[in-house]
Amino acid sequence: MGSSNSSVNNIPNAQELMQETGFSAAHILRLHERFEFLDKHKCGQLRLVDRPTNQPQDFGAVQELALNPIGDSIISAFFSPGQETVDFASFVRILAHFRPTDRNQSRDGAQQEPANSSIRKLKFAFQMYDQDRDGKISRAELLQVLRAMLGIQVTEEQLQSIAERAIQEADLDRDDAISFDEFRKSLEKVDIDHKMSIRFLR
């Protein structure tokens, strides 16, 4: 641990980050390496797009993302609205959503929900759809995700009806959109901890 700690110290705010996200020093170090690998300009920030060319920047280095149907939504989830760059701290904070939920952590009410709690995880998932961040998944937004995922195999009409049906299933207050509460209710039976966690290697 000694050696890794020393290098962790080179990362700004490493201790606070560890505290906040629950990542260990080794995790942080590893993620930092990854961050630097992605950060080709070495400016400590990942950019959403390259201004002049409008090409996807930085995250474009991850080739698999280009194949991922919802890759774009995920990339944009890293950037808070209006921002075009993300620094290491935010990067880690986003990834922290995907840590497995700590079970036996005593939760004092004063403290904010950790990022890896089920509710925060769900919130993140919700944002995958809710591109305009108005707190509702509209039909168009759902359709967009569906279109990306189902793609060529399904006709537009069928997509429409799928979206329609999905909304009807979840939509309790009949506003033709899914609010976060409705979203949560519809996924009540899903084990979010299982479904939204990955193992971070040390």
Partner 1 sequence: HTHRPTHTHTHRGDTAHIKGVTRVNGDVALTHQESRLNPSKSNLNQTEHGHGSVITGIPIVTFKWHHVETPYLVALWILVAGLGKLVIEANHHVTSVIPESALLICFGFILGGIIWGADKVQTFKLTPTVFFFYLLPQIILDAGYSMPNKLFFSNMGAILIYAVIGTCWNAASLGLSLWGCHKGGAMGDLDLGLLQYLLFGSLMAAVDPVAVIAVFEQVHVNEVLFIMVFGESLLNDGVTVVLFNVFDAFVSLGGDKIDAVEIIKGIISFFVVAFGGSLVGFVFGLLISLLTRCTKNIQIIEPGFVFVLGYLAYLTAEMLSLSAILSIVFCGMCCQKYINSNMDERSVTTVRYVMKVLANGSETIIFVFLGISAIDKEIWVWNTGFILLTLLFVLVYRFIGVFFLTWILNKFRLVPVELIDQVIMSYGGLRGAVAYGLAVMLDENKIKEKNLMVSTTLIVVYFTVILQGITMKPLVNWLKVKRAAVGELTLIEKVQDKVFDHMLVAIEDISGQIGHNYMRDKWNNFEEKWMTCILMKPSARKNRDYVFKVFHKLNLKDAMRYVTEGERRGSLEFVRNETAFIDFKKKFDDDFSEVMPDIMADTSDDYSDTRDPVPSVSLEMHEQTMNGMRPLEDVNSHHLLQQHLYKGRKQHRHRYSRSHFDVNKDENEVQEIFQRTMRTRLESFKSGKMGVAPLKHITKHLKKDQQQKMPNGKSLDKSKTYHSGDEDFEFSEGDSASGFEASASSFPMRVTYRAGAGIENPAFMPDLDPMAQVQIPPWLAEAEVDSSMVAPSQRAQLRLPWTPSNLRRLAPLRISAHSTDSFMLADAPAAQQRDNDQLPPPPPPPAPPHGDHM
Nearest to 100 by CA among 27, 2, 159: 27
Distance CA 199, CA 6 (A): 24
149: contact with partner 1 by CB under 8 A: yes
Choice from 165, 177, 180, 184 touching partner 1 (CB under 8 A): 165
Choice from 18, 45, 131, 193 touching partner 1 (CB under 8 A): 193
Nearest to 74 by CA among 22, 134, 145: 145
Nearer to partner 1, 108 or 156 (CB): 156
Half-sphere exposure of 70 (CA within 13 A, CB side): 18
89: contact with partner 1 by CB under 8 A: no
Distance CA 170, CA 177 (A): 9
Q: How much helix, strand and coil, in percent to the nearest 5, is found in the chain?
A: 50, 5, 40
Distance CA 181, CA 115 (A): 18
Distance CA 25, CA 47 (A): 25
Choice from 11, 125, 143, 177 touching partner 1 (CB under 8 A): 125
DSSP 87: E
DSSP 138: E
Choice from 24, 65, 93, 147 touching partner 1 (CB under 8 A): 65
145: contact with partner 1 by CB under 8 A: yes
154: contact with partner 1 by CB under 8 A: yes
Q: How far is the CB of 155 from partner 1 (least distance, A)?
A: 6
Nearer to partner 1, 109 or 153 (CB): 153
- Write out the residues near partner 1 by the rule CB under 8 A: 30-31, 33-34, 37-38, 59, 62, 64-65, 67-71, 74, 78, 95, 98, 100, 103, 125, 128-129, 142, 145-146, 149-150, 153-158, 160-162, 164-172, 174, 176, 178, 186-191, 193-201
